[in-house]
Amino acid sequence: MRIAGSMVFILLLFILTAILVKVKMDQDHFFSITMATIWFINMFGAVLQGSLFGLVGNGQAVAGIFSGIAMLLSNIFETDSDSSALGYFITPCVATLLTLCCYLPCTSRFTQLHLENVSTKTTMKKPSANSSELVKVKLNHFDNGFDDIGETEACKKLNELKQEPTEKSTVPQVFKKIWVMALCVTCVFAVTLSVFPAITINTKPSGLFDGKDNIFVPVCSFIVFNVMDWIGRSLTSRLQWPSMKSHSFPFFVVLWVVFIPALMLCNIQPRFYLPVFFNHDMAYIIIMSLFAMTNGYFACLSMSYAPQLVRPKDAETAGALMTFFLALGLSLGAGRSHRLTLLLSHYPTNINKFQITIILRLRYTFPLFSSLYLVHS
């Protein structure tokens, strides 16, 4: 009910925003209403993603790819702002409706019984346990013929299960076990939002895309970022290094801050204070690719490690706490991006408000207050 209700409210808010595109009103008022709806959409999005980050992580990166393609097509065909905004808002309406239609059948009793039957058949087809896993027992006062190999280990596991407390751990107790991963995910997203997209959107082409400003930013800043971010997230299913108990993991996350000055030294205009060190487009693409891939890798690794550090019954609390610290990182990064922009120029450059809000809404839907609600629910 919580998942379906959240998707219904998100769909209604998307439809409302799409309708308002055709309503004549002041641009500032429209922008304020849009930001308000984004806040509520993010709130319900946090309810959806609080305990499902592993499932939606790749989808989040793919959504960013679609938003970058939408921005590219809008620039190529030079569509007016109203039509462009309407297309941006209708697309998530269709996507949310399809998601809801796919989810509702999964909640039916028929589907659940079918999945249970498939799971049972799969389990029955598995080979039986070998003799080392069997415990010596007596049937009608006769031994079963197997040695008592593994008997001690089985008894130990049973005793451990009996000694475990049945109630869930408190939030502070869970936080003591996952605080390193919580700080890591905060650092990752704080760094990401500090420079992307507030600073990277102002990068000017010099080399491969010289004179093609309308193509350079959507392709090299957004599509490249989201594709490499998706690759980084997918990489965690095959490679998990450093391990969750390794001291080098937080070290690499802190070292990752080096991408902030690296991107700021690219050809971002206008600028008055810092020199341009990486002037060529290829240098910017390489830096952006490494930045995006490590962002997806470290973020997904942090979120997947945290529930493994606690008992299974505390995994949901750990996931909610990680969502809160993820949102905290987004908030810190968004707040710091304005100051980093001022390090380059006297004033922040003008940004297409509609395009940026849509891109951020499609990619990051983890608000701070909703995460707090998940922790306490």
pLDDT tens per residue across span 116-152: 776 666 655 555 444 444 444 444 444 444 444 445 5
* 269: alpha, beta or left? (left if phi > 0; alpha if psi -120 to 50): beta
Angle between helices 171-195 and 281-305 (to 10 degrees): 170
Q: Is the pLDDT of residue 305 over 80?
A: yes
Query: Do the domain assignments include residue 355?
Result: yes
C-alpha to C-alpha distances, 161 to 53, 75, 92, 165, 170, nearest whole angstrom: 28, 60, 46, 9, 19
Amino acid at 122: T
Identify the pLDDT of residue 68: 78
Query: Do the domain assignments include residue 248?
Result: yes
Q: Is the pLDDT of residue 366 over 80?
A: no
Query: Do the domain assignments include residue 133?
Result: no
pLDDT in tens, 231-242: 998 898 888 888
Count how many domains the chain has: 1
- Mean pLDDT, the chain, integer: 75
Reported as a pLDDT band with limits 50, 70 and 90, residue 198 is confident
Q: Which of 187, 303, 307, 177 is CA-nearest to residue 252?
A: 187
The answer to whether the predicted template modeling score (pTM) of the entire model surpasses 0.95 is no
Query: Do the domain assignments include residue 113?
Result: no
**Residue 21 belongs to domain spanning:** 2-108+173-376
Query: Do the domain assignments include residue 149?
Result: no
Alpha-carbon radius of gyration of the chain: 25
Query: Do the domain assignments include residue 38?
Result: yes
Query: Do the domain assignments include residue 136?
Result: no
Phi, psi torsion values for 207, nearest 5 degrees: 135, -105
Q: Is the pLDDT of residue 286 over 90?
A: yes
Query: Do the domain assignments include residue 243?
Result: yes
250-274 average pLDDT score = 90
In the chain, what percentage of residues exceed pLDDT 70? 71
Which tokens sit at 206?
């010099």
Identify the pLDDT of residue 313: 85
Burial label for 138, CB within 10 Å (0-12, 13-18, 19+), is exposed
Cα dihedral across residues 274, 277, 281, 285: positive or negative? negative
Q: Give 24's contacts (C-beta < 8 A, 6+ positions apart).
A: none
Q: In angstroms, rounded to a whole number, what is the distance separating the alpha carbons of residues 306 and 299?
A: 11
